[in-house]
Structure 1
Amino acid sequence: MNFSELFKLSSQLCKFSPDGKYLASCVQYRLVVRDASSLQILQLYTCVDQIQHVEWSADSLFLLCAMYKRGLVQVWSLEQPEWHCSIDEGSAGLVASRWSPDGRHILNTTEFHLRMTVWSLCTKSVSYIKYPKACQQGPPLSPAGVSFSQDGRYLALAERRDCKDYVSIFVCSDWQLLRHFDTGTQDLAGIEWAPNGCVLAVWDTCLEYKVLLYSLDGRLLAAYCAYEWSLGVKAAAWSPSSQFLAVGSYDGKVRVLNHVTWKVLAELGHPAAVGDSRVVVYKEAEKSPRGSLGRPACPPPRATESRYEVAEVPVSLQTLKPAADRANPKIGIGALAFSADSCFLATRNDNVPNAVWVWDVRKLRLFVVLEQLGPVRAFQWDPQQPRLAICTGGSKVYLWSPAGCVSVQVPGEGDFQVLSLCWHSNGDSLALLGKDHFCLCFLETEDGGGSTLGPLGSLT
């Protein structure tokens, strides 16, 4: 396992290209494109203002940079660095911008979600879609009310008109409306296509527990409600195989629905105490600094070293008492993700903030719990194999696989804190993102004779 030097970064804007050849990062108004392997700078572009969003086109030939404060999008070409395109939404403003799957159209959402504008880079034509809904769930500046099918053929868009929720399905080749239907939701919070593009999941506001499954032609296939009290759905995720839909709820449980009957296969609880002897609980523990005669080492380490220890069950996990008088209480399943092979599901219960739960989907039972010293900020699966990367806002990165887990200190000067992370598409490297810097962590494969995870989380 090797680490690159630290590079400057703004707003954690750092993304690998879909083909894996390049790495784009933003430093205020500058866009830097590097070779993903050597990290040599290939192109340097200058935008008119600070970049707030960056995104690769699907073919890795173009880069979109959005400056929401100015209502402006600039597009850059890797093949023709002298070419660029500017899209100005003017007085309509701009709150979100993204590529269409063909990499030749840009979808801009105006302020107050008055409309969505589809700009063509090829014909310079413009299309307008009215009433896009501002959904509650989804990453910042990327509305959860927009979902493209994985094959790029269809766009599902949540709409709000006449105080009612609708979904419109468009054909991406010509942006013609294919289906339009009323969802019957109280306040639609998110939509997501299954990876196979056959089913669209729609879920309601957290105040109304409702998950709806629609076919491509707009038929309601199933409706699911786990309970009718208090807060409802907090997160949802499809398995890559499209066989399972995992629904995370405010009651601290994940319901796994199957794709045949849309009934619940399992309810996965997240209690504060783990008593199942079949479950391995890894606890992060601080290492004592090396020294002599009880004196601390000199000079002191830049950051406290740690390692994982296997705890004996039953194990009590650290819990957080949520503030009942505040919005968005720290309770329930706030994050969940399937591994690339659909064999594992990772979850985080927000009122047990230091723990990551890993479930065996094949046996529908808890497999591993990882308890960190600090609250878990982000986790993400390797795109190629069941290997999970975790960060907690400290100077370490954590990796788990069925073979074991490891805590790794990120080297470098200063106090570099890992706030987020993203995998390279081939799983050989990992971008670690901090507040003002980023670095790459290179993980060699077993075939290359590099670092692999040993059974107790040691580097071998």
Structure 2
Amino acid sequence: MALHGTNGGSAIVTVSTDGSYIVRVHGKEVSVHSAIPVEGSHFLRSIKLQEAFSSQLKFVKVSQSDSTADGNSGTRMQIEDESQLNLVSQRRLLCASSNRILVWQINSLEWHADIENIEPSVGTIEFGASDDEAILFHSWSSKVTIFNLESASSLIIKSPKFYNPSSMGHGYRPLTRQLAILLKPEASDLLTIHEACSYDTIAKVTLPTVDAQGLKWSPDGRWIAIWDAASNGTKVLVYTADGQLYRAYTGRSDIENTHDLGVKCIEWTPLKRRHSNSEILAVGKYDGTVDLLNTRTFSCSTTLSHTFSINDKSPPVWRERMSPDGKLEYAEAASSSAFVTPGSDSTIQLPKGVSSLQFSPHGELLATIEQTQPNIVWIWAMTATPTLETALVHEHNVKNITWHAKNQELLITTANNTLAVIHLWSKERPPVIAEIPIPRSEAGRYSVTWVKSTVPEESCLFWFNNTDDAVLGCVIVDDQTNTQGRASFNSLYMVSRSGLMGAPAETSGAN
């Protein structure tokens, strides 16, 4: 996850998706740090960029490890031998301006590739199917250019439907890495599927959509789900990996809905232990409900509704509050009044729809956010009959939620521009709030990334960062004394504008 500052005083801070590395660019200096110490140090290397390049820098990316390269949280390979560890050590760092891309080996910052004279108006740049590829989306959806960093060759796919990095207009198939991408060459939406490496076209399908909004591969690689614009009502198309239409979901057949508001987002369940198939496709809708489709028939088995009724079987509701001593804490709420935010104006029309669907690592739990109440995280137990496990109500809108890769623990950040805090919900104990020793963000822009590690002592670590600074640590909960929903943050390492905590003096190399 990257938080970008502006050219001049602010920095660009980028954390790899697995939390293994953090890269900070400030001025001409690029410094790379490791979550797990290498030879006793978190600091790895730093280099100086050329002035002309650093002043135009727009993108900083870290390639994914082999254990997360499938692009879906539910499919992860375990690193079991030395050869796989060597592969992970070859991960790369990409820095790009609007017309140039530089790539280094991340551990050594040894130069790897330099691509110059790129056509201007770049929308986004990412690593492609592997760290030997860079995929560049040009603005105004004119084309996609895929660069092979080993062979110094490139190829072009014309008329992508989206170029915005936040869109879901393309995706790589888990493990085998075929590319599926939405195109819009003329009036109709197209789905094309391309072979890995060569990008030869496997399938080209004209979609029966008004305005396709995105696609997602299932974690098992069997299906591609595409959802249509909300103006066309509920419409989710499920294609096979070779581009054959398998099912079209247009809403529940047992409910008559003359005012179907359509689909806002979708999400597949991760692969469960000893299961080779993804079992559920969750469809978040603009009416605030979530349809759960079983992947055998892609029919709706259950609908989740973001409403809360008080009865004897009501789940616990936790509300963030300020304690008398000025500390944020969670307190269990006794009634539905917990859902009323102080100072809220009922006349303000908030945007509708389920904006976030995130399954826990093995699909036992589902966390959701619904935009009419953007300060609440709803957590559902995905049992045979899904039920609401709990709800977490905050004083500010929720910005990020992220599950631990193995444990049933959820980190939450909010748009709190007064205090930098992290909220931690765990299946094992009541939720807690911990202050983070990092300068507050005026805009409440914080990001959090778990560190994925096979070592139990390191499994609780995460990075917390704003646009300029980052800190590595974990939340410490004293179960015997913690009765007020509070905890402390154990800070292990900091990367900041004021220097490095626990790091040796930096050395610089020339580019």
**CA displacement at 1:412 relative to structure 2:** 5.0
Superposition pairs for residues 394-433 of structure 1, below 5 Å? Answer: 394=416, 395-402=420-427, 403-411=429-437, 417=444, 419-426=446-453, 427-433=459-465
Residues 13 and 467, structure 2, Cα contact 8 Å, conserved in 1: no
**CA displacement at 1:413 relative to structure 2:** 6.1
**Secondary structure of the corresponding residue to residue 112 of structure 1:** helix
Runs (5+) with no aligned partner, structure 2: 1-8, 65-87, 252-256, 272-277, 454-458, 489-511
Pick the aligned partner of 1:44 from 42, 46, 50: 46
1:248 aligns with 2:289: no
- Report the equivalent of 1:301: none
Runs (5+) with no aligned partner, structure 1: 1-8, 290-303, 445-449
**CA displacement at 1:393 relative to structure 2:** 2.4
- Report the equivalent of 1:278: 314
The letter for the 1-side match of 2:101 is V
- Report the equivalent of 1:16: 16
- Report the equivalent of 1:239: 269
Pick the aligned partner of 1:333 from 349, 354, 364: 354
Q: Deviations over 1:71-122 (max 9, x none)?
A: 3322122355342422235345311111123211111112222111111111
**CA displacement at 1:211 relative to structure 2:** 0.8
Q: Deviations over 1:17-74 (max 9, x none)?
A: 65x543223335543211213463212234413543322223452111232xx23322
Superposition pairs for residues 210-359 of structure 1, below 5 Å? Answer: 210-226=235-251, 229=259, 231-241=261-271, 242-271=278-307, 273-276=308-311, 277-289=313-325, 304-318=326-340, 321=346, 330-359=351-380
- Report the equivalent of 1:98: 126
Provide the C-alpha distance between the structure 1 equivalents of 2:348 and 2:11, rounded to a whole number of angstroms: 29
TM-score by length of 2: 0.76
Q: Deviations over 1:328-385 (max 9, x none)?
A: x522111110000100000011111211000001131111000112111111111111
Q: Relative to 1, partners in 2 of residues 1:372 and 1:204: Cα closer, same or farther, differing over 3 Å?
A: same
**CA displacement at 1:456 relative to structure 2:** 7.2
Residues 321 and 351, structure 1, Cα contact 8 Å, conserved in 2: no
The letter for the 1-side match of 2:14 is C
1:55 aligns with 2:61: yes
What is the identity percentage for the equivalent residue pairs of Structure 1 and Structure 2? 25
**Secondary structure of the corresponding residue to residue 397 of structure 1:** strand
Pick the aligned partner of 2:177 from 153, 170, 173: 153
The letter for the 2-side match of 1:124 is A
Residues 32 and 45, structure 2, Cα contact 8 Å, conserved in 1: yes
Superposition pairs for residues 51-90 of structure 1, below 5 Å? Answer: 51-58=57-64, 59=88, 61-67=91-97, 70-78=98-106, 81-88=109-116, 90=118
Provide the C-alpha distance between the structure 1 equivalents of 2:369 and 2:466, rounded to a whole number of angstroms: 21
Provide the C-alpha distance between the structure 2 equivalents of 1:247 and 1:176, rounded to a whole number of angstroms: 31
Residues 434 and 486, structure 2, Cα contact 8 Å, conserved in 1: no
The letter for the 2-side match of 1:116 is V
Provide the C-alpha distance between the structure 1 equivalents of 2:396 and 2:175, rounded to a whole number of angstroms: 39
Larger displacement relative to structure 2 (370-379 or 450-459): 450-459
TM-score by length of 1: 0.84
The letter for the 1-side match of 2:241 is L
The letter for the 1-side match of 2:91 is L
The letter for the 2-side match of 1:107 is I
Superposition pairs for residues 123-202 of structure 1, below 5 Å? Answer: 123-134=151-162, 141-202=165-226
Q: Relative to 1, partners in 2 of residues 1:346 and 1:452: Cα closer, same or farther, differing over 3 Å?
A: farther
Residues 11 and 436, structure 1, Cα contact 8 Å, conserved in 2: yes
Q: Relative to 1, partners in 2 of residues 1:115 and 1:339: Cα closer, same or farther, differing over 3 Å?
A: same
Residues 274 and 315, structure 1, Cα contact 8 Å, conserved in 2: no
